[in-house]
A and B are shown apart, each in its own frame.
Chain A
Amino acid sequence: MKQASRNPFDLSGVIVWPILYASIAYYLLDAKHEPRLLLSASLGASVMLMWSLVVIASSGALEQQRWQGTLELVVAAPTPLTAVIGPICVAGALVGTYAIGATLAWGALLFDVPVKIERPVAFALAIPACALAVGMLGLIMASTFVLYRAAFHLGIAMQYPVWIVTGLLVPLSLLPSFVRPLSWLLAPTWGFRGLQEAALGGTPWPDMGMCLVLSAVYLVIGGSCLIAFEYVARARGSLRLT
């Protein structure tokens, strides 16, 4: 993350995206005249960026390693690959927490969105829980990045499907019924609900609990996939391919 933060061009993307998505939501949803809906949209846009940063940061970091010729060294090192890639994913999600502050401030300053967090302590706890779960979901994605050199393209393509399926801006009730069970398996659904419930005065604890459970499950799946895919990549000799 330190490396990425050296380039102002890279940072500009992080700064602009959540504000733009939040703006679109404000312009469109303003027609409903529901301030709580706009606050919810701010949080949805924040989790959207969190997911984007996880897939882009992890796939981008691995692609960079490929181009620099250091991916083979990272894989050959005795440190488990999970311990190298996991923190990159979680760090991406933690940078995404900036989006929460940015979209709330943007909404309050320009669109008069009332920023009133009903349960501040729960909200403060929901943020790392969400970041951890989204980061761990990214670990599963990242395991494919070790195997495929085109994974960066796939990572980018995975943004909108997850945004739709997890109901970050559009309620799941509007989507086809088969989407709902899929949403239960994805961390952004629960992370967003945790933030939303804490901000609007609901009960965020079950959602935060689901974030922690899913984080553990993702860690096991992601770690296993990394071991398997690392073996395949070594056997094919594809780690050096750019």
Chain B
Amino acid sequence: MNTLRVVFVGGLTSYRALFNWINPWIFIPHTLGYPIFEILFFAYLGRFAGVESDRFFLIGNAFLAIAVTGMFGMGHATAGERRSQTLATLLASPANRFAVFLGRALPSIITGFFVATVSFAICAAILGVHVSLASLPGLALATVAAAFACTALGLCLGAVGLRGRNVSVFADVITACMLVVSGANVPLHLLPGWLQTIASGVPLTHGIQAARAIANGASIAASADLLAKEVAIGGIYLAVGLFMLRLFEFEGRRTGSLERF
């Protein structure tokens, strides 16, 4: 019961604190405004370049919104604790670490899903992109898989936050790299071979590919291998993230660096 309390109550409280308890009237436009304008920016750039369709950029950038919420949410979860000087207290508590960070991950996954869905719907209406109703369950599945994988990578960033002072900027750089590497804005075949190899090992790439295939009429079964790869990549990052959390917590305690800011 206590573990569940840590996951849900602790997670919700941390989530509210993550955004400095800001008013929902500011939180919602901020969270949705960024991805909506990002989608429009790249869709118009694609139109200008004559490369790919609006649908290509709509799906790619809606999924990037997941990356932003997943990585920033998780990355900033520890950075925020450090800044408000509660990190040492949190780590000194006997609470199960997995429950603590799972509580922080769940709102990020839900937010990522919500932001991607709403910004997708709004921009599809603005850009005049039609997606059949039959493809929606598959798109939802791809969104959840990508949100899981991005949040798992975010957990790794959160772990880095136990050692680094400003992990938000690091998360910012990773998200920026995703703009290119994940194939969200640049077709993967245009990238150099070594970058394509990296792309196959990062979250989003397979989720975006699966979503584009499903939106173009493929069945969920036909995209199952891509979805499975996305979830597997997420699982690997989750395992690495949990290991890093344990390692950096130990290192932080040993070097007394948890309260440095």
Interface residues of A (CB under 8 A from B): 7, 9-10, 12-13, 16-17, 20-21, 23-25, 27-29, 31-32, 67, 148-150, 153-154, 156-157, 159-161, 163-164, 169-171, 174-175, 242
Contacts and interface: CB of A to CB of B under 8 A. Distances in A.
A160 B49 CA distance: 18
A150 B50 CA distance: 38
A169 B45 contact: yes
A28 B186 contact: yes
Contacts of B46: 28
B26 interface: yes
Contact of A153 (B19, B41, B48, B167): B19
A57 to B, nearest CB: 12
Contact of B179 (A20, A149, A163, A169): A20
Interface string B165-178: 11101101100110
A163 B166 contact: no
Interface of B: 19-20, 22-23, 26-27, 29-30, 33-34, 37-38, 40-42, 44-51, 83, 164-167, 169-170, 172-173, 176-177, 179-180, 185-186, 190-191
A161 to B, nearest CB: 5
Contacts of A242: 20
A161 B37 contact: yes
A23 B176 contact: no
Given A28-B186, A150-B20, A10 B49 contact: no
A12 B169 contact: yes
A148 B176 CA distance: 27
A149 B51 contact: no
A149 B169 CA distance: 20
The dominant DSSP class at the A interface is helix
Residue among B19, B29, B180, B191 with most chain A CB within 10 A: B180
Contacts of B38: 160
Given A150-B27, A159-B34, 18 more contacts: A9-B167, A12-B169, A16-B177, A20-B179, A21-B179, A24-B45, A24-B185, A28-B51, A31-B51, A32-B50, A149-B20, A154-B30, A157-B37, A160-B37, A160-B41, A164-B41, A164-B44, A170-B47
A13 B172 contact: yes
7 contacts: A9-B167, A24-B42, A150-B20, A153-B27, A164-B37, A170-B41, A174-B47
